[in-house]
Structure 1
């Protein structure tokens, strides 16, 4: 049974439901959303053919539920309604998730040997670049003449009237529709006339800035319908949302826009792979400083070879000479210049001119010109390696400005709609979580619509990749430069928002009395929405060898996070990697997203870059629900590159209607439990209360307390530039003393020592004796030892064998470990 994706309480409370493109379904009120994917797939035994007679009904065997894998690409998230208590209902806003960095830019990450696929194997159009966008022309994998273009969108306009309508719909909601037409980017407009439009999945939302604040209001579209010339975006809004949108239409300061997300999948070219025989570059510690050993030149270029003349290239006389003259001429021939053999991989200039003109003289002194045969044509170079490709799932936005002056577009504004700015009225609630002792979190309430409260994420954390093993979404690339002082390292990583689902559950209880009861809302129901506002990134980074807090260029996406691109000197690589590995927080590479709302003082959301505490998937799971009791048997597999430590694992069970606290049986968490990569845990989750609903029981977990125990060696394998060797070398002086070789003090029966043979792991050895009591050698050490230990140049392993002058030989010692620069060996 394949493993699937674990459903997490933080994702449930954030409204996250990854779903593939599917036929839309109708919901009450006319809202249309893509058909959701159930949190887990129920896999039942195959049905048997119907029997001739109905047998007695037996109790059904429990079905095995396998959570579906994450499907990248254009992912539409359906709104989730969770009822933690009957009197407190929070409808959480749906959002569009972006593919992770490893899906968008697979070329950034180290590629395994033989990775990717050939052009003819692709099931998707071919991108000409590793960063596809709407300025590219894409080709069919099997027919380069068939090309595709990615559409842009604009409002349809007929005789100065935009195709935008606002009308009252069902259940007190207002329907807003916007008709759009497609067009290609100007850079490819001519070529697009003979190309086809690329098929995309579409999502949409309208965003605008709330008057008097820096808060962004977002209204997700319920449906995007494709038609002959483009598409129609449809929104279903409350009266308050409708009035807010119409005010934004009237104001240029509101920066109102329709944002269309275009999801598509193409094959992007991978960087040319490094030949397997090309030596990798090595990181070395020299006098306490990290240095990069450059990729060595090919040995053929470093050696001086003797010239060898092929028999077919020996000069032949242009005229027939008398044998006597020939003998005399041989003594007077000038030496023939022979071109040296070219280095492997170095192509010489192409020329058919003879290498040399051989001159001879007759007895009377007149010259005789002897020409050698022309050199053979160059051997043709080997064919270029086939370009390999990787799938890239893209979701790219296209914005359409929405500003309509009422005098020019009165048809947009229904009679009685608000036609002037509304005073901004906001209040900020500060709640500590955990209550009384934890950090204070801000919640923003719009008093013009008090049933809407906004929250911010707990933090932004280093993200994990989408595919298993879910390694850090981070890569180090080394720029060799022209000299040792110019070697730089580029760090690229993905940072994503993290919200503690239990904090939101607590906030819904604590904020219920902030919502006024009314005839329309007697139960004080309210919406929890993610706040989006003007923001900037402040981080502690390395500048000229010092740690400084600076504003770092980054586009903050409150749904999906941002990408950090930092460049630092190579000598600081050890410090940077050490900070990422450290279990405790360090100032370097930490910071805050500074949120400017215009309501109160700026709010800080922490940014944490650390391998021990990352955002993203940790487990894959198999769940087997019991249809009678609602219990769920669970198997959790560690799907990361490092060990995981579980201190607590809060659980809930749902059958599609509400959450019931779960109780874990078969797993003792009184002490932390550690799970190695690819190892699993098995236990059962029992409901502590009666479950409502008819769907199969589903176990939901809060993995916020699960921490990674970073395995630096494994992390380097996934994050370090693959032209860098994972092993390096350090210099060690191996020595002994005459007294050791005399072997008197030890009282050994072997007598005087002839040799001490010291063998190092990596097939390296030295032999010490009377005439060779000190030897310098380069020994292999793991790169991790250099990166993680500033007071060491790396540990090595060795063993020794003593050979006596008497002919006896002592048994070889076990492997020993040391990091000394001078290794003094004795007879024991």
Structure 2
């Protein structure tokens, strides 16, 4: 290393300066302005498909309009398989199902129909001075100062109330993340609602507050057949020495897809090209199960204006008539966190009476397959002939309302005075909270 010294000229710090108007009138003599000019965007409303939508015109760049999303919806994961971006966790806080809490976390994303912007552009042109017929309208998402979520949530008395969710940070471009903590009973109502069981419960709105304007209300819907995000995976093989493309569409979600119609559009260098499709005949809707695919060939219906080798063809699909057929069980498996308990404990009261023992039985023992064992002895007093046992029940059966929801299995063993034991060969099934053991529930003995 070598030590050197470098001389630097001293720099004088810059000082801000102004021209006082009284001393330098000539500087301000040529400045003119419009005292009526404002920098507040102008509200323009355009009707589309029977509903009015708001657009806010930039005061400086008149061809620029800011828009609001059509709605907010649940979003699918960006990676395949595109499961709903939702997770469910169960937290047991006691011995009964009433003490089990469900924590639901989800992401919602702004939904926008691009056709609305495309078809509204011509109507908005009349608000732009000196814009010729070839001029274009520019759109950008509106960045509002305040946006608050409200939702219809269940109350303790069984009613529902539209509640504000001030803790949820809403961004009009990226959506929001929310978490709900529900009782097991309310979670069952929630799961029914997201599959169309209620048109109000767990639905909501985002209220957008703008300066000196009336609030804009954007609906928030939670329906498993209408999410934002990809449904299909796409693969293509470009045929050599041909403009044809072999296209494959794969169902990349957890539920079946019903394809009613599938328009195909070709673009080359930004220009739309008529398309001809071979091998995709849809005289009636088809159902595409998860992982299944359809394959067909797409090619230009007319000669390409430019060579495909230099200007590749882009294939686009209109998915307006592709519908999700929600699979409750598959969605349950997709959103249930693997580290969460999937069972809850249910209290069953077991009862019998002294006459059931007769003069031959000493012990009646009831064994529960999903729980413990209850033993009654002949010498017990009446109050001892009632006992409570905790039975483990899958939450899945309760939420999905399967045929065996709340069911439990048990079998009875009896011991006679002479020490002989008799036990049920098969399990018995019941669903009642109170299980009475009578002579009808006892296993057969040699004298019965």
Return the offset for 1:658. 2.8
1:671 — aligned with what?
284
Q: Structure 1 residue 788 and structure 2 residue 400: aligned?
A: yes
Return the offset for 1:493. 0.4
1:463 — aligned with what?
75
1:633 — aligned with what?
246
Q: Structure 1 residue 537 and structure 2 residue 149: aligned?
A: yes
Return the offset for 1:565. 1.4
1:574 — aligned with what?
188
Return the offset for 1:417. 12
1:454 alignment partner, one of 50, 66, 75: 66
Residue 149 of structure 2 contacts residue 206 of structure 2 at CA under 8 Å; is this kept in 1?
yes
1:680 — aligned with what?
293
1:718 — aligned with what?
334
1:492 — aligned with what?
105
Cα separation, 1, equivalents of 2:81 and 2:117: 29
| CA RMSD between the two structures | 4.2
What are the Cα deviations for residues 624-666 of structure 1, in whole angstroms up to 9, with x where unaligned?
2357764432101111111112233333211232334545432
- CA gap of 1:634–1:526, structure 2 versus 1, over 3 A, is same
- CA gap of 1:636–1:525, structure 2 versus 1, over 3 A, is same
What are the Cα deviations for residues 506-526 of structure 1, in whole angstroms up to 9, with x where unaligned?
2234433443335xx673222
Instruction: Give the paired residue count.
Output: 351
Cα separation, 2, equivalents of 1:509 and 1:628: 41
1:516 — aligned with what?
129
Cα separation, 1, equivalents of 2:32 and 2:239: 54
Cα separation, 2, equivalents of 1:689 and 1:593: 47
Return the offset for 1:455. 1.7
- CA gap of 1:563–1:524, structure 2 versus 1, over 3 A, is same
2:139 — aligned with what?
528
1:564 alignment partner, one of 178, 181, 191: 178
Residue 627 of structure 1 contacts residue 696 of structure 1 at CA under 8 Å; is this kept in 2?
no
Q: Which runs of 5+ in 1 are unaligned?
A: 1-157, 163-404, 409-414, 734-760, 763-777, 798-817
Return the offset for 1:699. 0.9
1:4 — aligned with what?
none
Return the offset for 1:448. 3.6
Return the offset for 1:482. 5.0
Q: How does 1:289-438 map to 2 (within 5 A)?
A: 422-424=37-39, 426-434=41-49, 438=50
Cα separation, 2, equivalents of 1:159 and 1:482: 74
Residue 636 of structure 1 contacts residue 680 of structure 1 at CA under 8 Å; is this kept in 2?
yes
Residue 343 of structure 2 contacts residue 393 of structure 2 at CA under 8 Å; is this kept in 1?
no
1:739 — aligned with what?
none
Cα separation, 1, equivalents of 2:344 and 2:113: 40
Cα separation, 2, equivalents of 1:656 and 1:730: 68
- CA gap of 1:820–1:567, structure 2 versus 1, over 3 A, is closer
Q: Structure 1 residue 706 and structure 2 residue 322: aligned?
A: yes
Residue 632 of structure 1 contacts residue 698 of structure 1 at CA under 8 Å; is this kept in 2?
no
Cα separation, 1, equivalents of 2:147 and 2:14: 36
Residue 658 of structure 1 contacts residue 692 of structure 1 at CA under 8 Å; is this kept in 2?
no
Residue 652 of structure 1 contacts residue 687 of structure 1 at CA under 8 Å; is this kept in 2?
no
- CA gap of 1:431–1:645, structure 2 versus 1, over 3 A, is farther
Residue 92 of structure 2 contacts residue 344 of structure 2 at CA under 8 Å; is this kept in 1?
no
Return the offset for 1:550. 1.4
2:356 — aligned with what?
none
Residue 342 of structure 2 contacts residue 396 of structure 2 at CA under 8 Å; is this kept in 1?
no
- CA gap of 1:686–1:509, structure 2 versus 1, over 3 A, is farther
- Secondary structure at 1:637's aligned position in 2? strand
Q: Which runs of 5+ in 2 are unaligned?
A: 1-10, 20-29, 351-368, 371-389, 410-428, 441-448
